[in-house]
Amino acid sequence: MNIPTFPFIPGRIARLPELAYNLWWSWQPDAIALFQAIDADLWTEVTHNPVRLLRTVAPERLAAVAQDEVYLARYDQVLADFDTYLQSGNTWFAQTHPRDAETGASSPVVYFSAEFGLHEALPIYSGGLGILAGDHCKAASDLGLPLAGVGLLYPQGYFKQHITPDGVQEAHFETLNPDELPMVPARGPDGRPIVIVVELPGRHVYVKVWHIQVGRVPLYLMDTNVDANDPRDREISARLYGGDQEMRIAQEIILGIGGVRAVRALGLQPSAWHLNEGHAGFLGLERIRTLVQEQGLTFAEAREVVAANTVFTTHTPVAAGNDEFPLWLIDKYFSHYWGSLGLSREEFIDLARHSRPWGPMFSMTMLAMRLASQYNAVSQLHGRVSRQMWHFLWPEVPVDEVPITSITNGVHTCTWLAPELARIYTQYLGPDWEARLDDPATWNGIDHIPDEVLWDVRRALKRKLVDFVRERLRAAWMHGELAPEQAIAEGALLDPEALTIGFARRFATYKRATLLFRDVARLQHLLNRPGRPVQIIFAGKAHPADEPGKAFIRNVYRAAREAGFAGRIVFLENYDIVVARHLVQGVDVWLNTPRRPLEASGTSGQKAALNGVPNLSILDGWWREAYDGQNGWAIGDEAEWADREAQDAADAESLYTILENEVIPLYYARDAAGLPRAWLRKVRQAIRTVAPVFSTHRMVKEYTQRLYIPAATRGQKLAAANGTLKR
């Protein structure tokens, strides 16, 4: 990576830019502290982006820290850790797959995703799918798995959410300046910056490629904001999930077809290709086209070779999450293309034809399934649902034998764990606990943490959350972005000692954010009992086109303004990684109320649990596998109701009853020392049972052993066989 020069950085701390340009720092509290110590206010102002910090900080500040012995000692330690991390040849992958490790760097798994959620400084994600992709890359880096990410850079990112005093969601976009992001132009083997070309109807679109380094893992992001493109094409990659269907198909052509060309231009020889959701589905077509045109294979032969080492992960049973395009768009964008695959129009469309009540559609999920050979869902229950949902693609086998397996999602522990708790884990689980974090035995040490220590850190984290909320309100008030009546709705009256429940996620209606409000009087009573106050913090964006989702936000926001709720219902604007981090670390209980079985996995509750925040959730997605009767609470049972209204009523009743009879009494039961002993047992059990299993370390190991290695092996065999065949 060619890192730009920063003229004012003193020689003694000359490696700060190197650190800034590797997102390794983003999950290392000591490295973060190194940047923060340069100028704490500026660090907040630049949204924790070290490149912007180094570009804008006063040279005197840099000169000052370069003279500060304490700072320099920390600097030396962080850089020593950084070097150790990058140079260690003794990773999990090197130990378990020594032969693959040797050839790994030149033949990585390439991981395609429409979004990557790595850090707040790179706002190119919308939610769970992107965060999962970011955590996947970080874990691959930790484990030494050779992997390269491929995606799109969205210079205007995903929208920032502002709520009007009436609770109406407004969407704002800010333009990112590539020079201020921790990325550089990607270069090919000849050292020249890469620009690739993709054909769209009647024109060529030029795409440049950026390189972001995530520990050992490179991430390549494509960007159509290139001078040579006409203005509308420069906008193709501008916004994540921003435009209409035509914009969307153009984005997916850049991602899939452009992505394959970028991989080639980078000189990579992937061992396996992983599609994180169907958005990149066109990549299989482009790989087939290359084999047909350059190696003379037939479509059928080429498809077999391509499918052999392609892995596809489906992420949702909800229709809106499964992209599909009307056939007129396919005609418009692919009529120049199917001939080069050796296919007629009908054959091409039949690859992904989905008969819908409103007519035939071209389904990206079906395309991905047809051009892959390994498929997985993201939790056990989601596996079952997906096998039913896609059974029609494998009509010859019984539903249980539909070849869609499941690998349950996890989270990147060090990204989501509060530094305050990380220090305690180091003390009680052993200094090398991070290297053993997916081994359940590592977590037995949780029992050695004294109750007082655990309780103190939990209280401190809640206070930190309340301070964070108040500081945001103060800043918004100062900048004239807050009407006085919004202050209470957005948390001015939060009580750092009250039992605090967090609910933060996308406001899609199946997530039922308003379930708690079915009986307003009962809720008000429950929140306001003397001596046992309860407060609930909501956060989340609705997709700008999702009117019912936006109505849910309006309803919650208006409730938060009502005097009857006494400031104990709060809605935080602009749910993003920063807000998520504070919430999952700072609340006492994590609430989730999806309509079963629509939550494929969910991961925010995993982040909460590893911070000692028990879940109170429907038995859906990951929680159905994690709940053991002791580590949190289950709302409802395993039943799925045909009548939605009846299901909502039953689940709401269960939720109120658990809150009234279990959660609130347990939290407020204190002994003579003022400690909630039984509560802390739940906290420990949540950490112990969730942290090792629902981590991306466990998850990426499973992907490697169950999908990547078999795919790579099969891919090699088939490529070899075809090579022989043709010669």
Ligand X SMILES: *Cc1c(COP(=O)(O)O)cnc(C)c1O
Q: Which spans of this chain sit near ligand X (rule: CB under 6 A)?
A: 127-128, 131, 505, 575-577, 580, 602-605, 607
Provide the minimum distance between the beta carbon of 695 and ligand X in the complex, in angstroms, as a whole number.
Answer: 13
- N-term to C-term CA, the chain: 39
Contact by Cβ (8 Å): 686, 609: yes
CB of residue 338 vs ligand X: minimum separation in angstroms?
37
Do the beta carbons of residue 31 and residue 25 sit within 8 Å?
yes
Considering the complex, state which of residue 305 and residue 687 has its C-beta at the smaller distance from ligand X. Answer: 687
Q: Which is nearer to ligand X, 26 or 271 (CB)?
A: 26
HEC profile of 270-320: CCEEEEECHHHCHHHHHHHHHHHHHHCCCHHHHHHHHHHCEEEECCCCCHH
Number of Cβ atoms within 10 Å of the Cβ of 533: 17
**Shortest CB 126 distance to ligand X, Å:** 8
Two structure tokens written together for 64: 């000052």
Q: Using the minimum distance from each CB to ligand X, give the nearer residue, 114 or 308.
A: 114
Q: How far is the CB of 304 from ligand X (least distance, A)?
A: 35
Shortest reach from residue 125's CB to ligand X, in Å: 8
User: Count of CB atoms within 10 A of residue 104's CB?
Assistant: 18
- Tell me whether residue 207 or residue 580 sits nearer to ligand X (CB atom): 580
Residue 218's beta-bridge partner residues? Answer: 213
Q: What are 497's strand-pairing partners?
A: none
Question: Which CB sits closer to ligand X, 309 or 313?
Answer: 313
Please list, residue by residue across 667-678, b when 16 or more beta carbons sit within 10 angstroms of its beta carbon and e when fewer do: beeeeeeebbee
Closer by beta carbon to ligand X, 379 or else 647? 379
- Kindly tell me which of 33 and 578 has the beta carbon lying closer to ligand X: 578
Q: Is the dihedral of CA 570, 575, 579, 583 positive or negative?
A: positive
- The distance of closest approach from Cβ of residue 539 to ligand X in the complex, given in angstroms and rounded to an integer, is 9
Least distance between ligand X and beta carbon 619 (Å): 15
Distant-in-sequence, close-in-space partners of 428: CB < 8 Å, separation ≥ 6: 445, 446, 448, 449
- Between 348 and 575, name the residue whose CB sits nearer to ligand X: 575
C-beta of 224 vs 611, nearer to ligand X: 611
**271 in Cβ contact with 712 (< 8 Å):** yes
Query: CB-wise, 261 or 505, nearer to ligand X?
Result: 505
Sequence-ordered list of residues with C-beta below 8 angstroms from that of 531, at least 6 positions apart, any chain: 668
Shortest reach from residue 219's CB to ligand X, in Å: 18
Instruction: Report residue 384 as tokens.
Output: 């079952």
* Residue 15, amino acid: R
Report, in Å, the least distance between residue 690 CB and ligand X. Answer: 13
Structural contact between residues 234 and 175, judged by C-beta atoms closer than 8 angstroms: no
Closest separation in Å from C-beta 457 to ligand X? 21
CB neighbourhood size of 319 (10 A): 8
Taking the least distance from each CB to ligand X, the nearer of 92 and 510 is 510
CA distances from 712 to 234, 282, 305, 369, 704 (A): 36, 20, 11, 17, 10
Minimum CB separation of residue 517 from ligand X in Å reads: 19
Q: Which is nearer to ligand X, 491 or 605 (CB)?
A: 605
State the Cα–Cα distance between residues 371 and 367, nearest whole angstrom: 6
Phi–psi pair at 441, nearest 5 degrees: -65, -30
Q: How far is the CB of 605 from ligand X (least distance, A)?
A: 6
Distances (CA, A) of 527 to 30, 142, 458: 39, 43, 21
Distance, in Å, from the CA atom of 115 to the CA atom of 32, rounded to the nearest integer, reads 24
234/315 with CB nearer ligand X: 315
- Buried/exposed code over 225-238 (b: 16+ C-beta within 10 A; e: otherwise): beeebeeebbbbbb
Q: How far is the CB of 123 from ligand X (least distance, A)?
A: 10
Contact in structure between 443 and 429 (CB atoms under 8 Å): yes
Cα 374 to Cα 314: distance, rounded to the nearest angstrom: 11
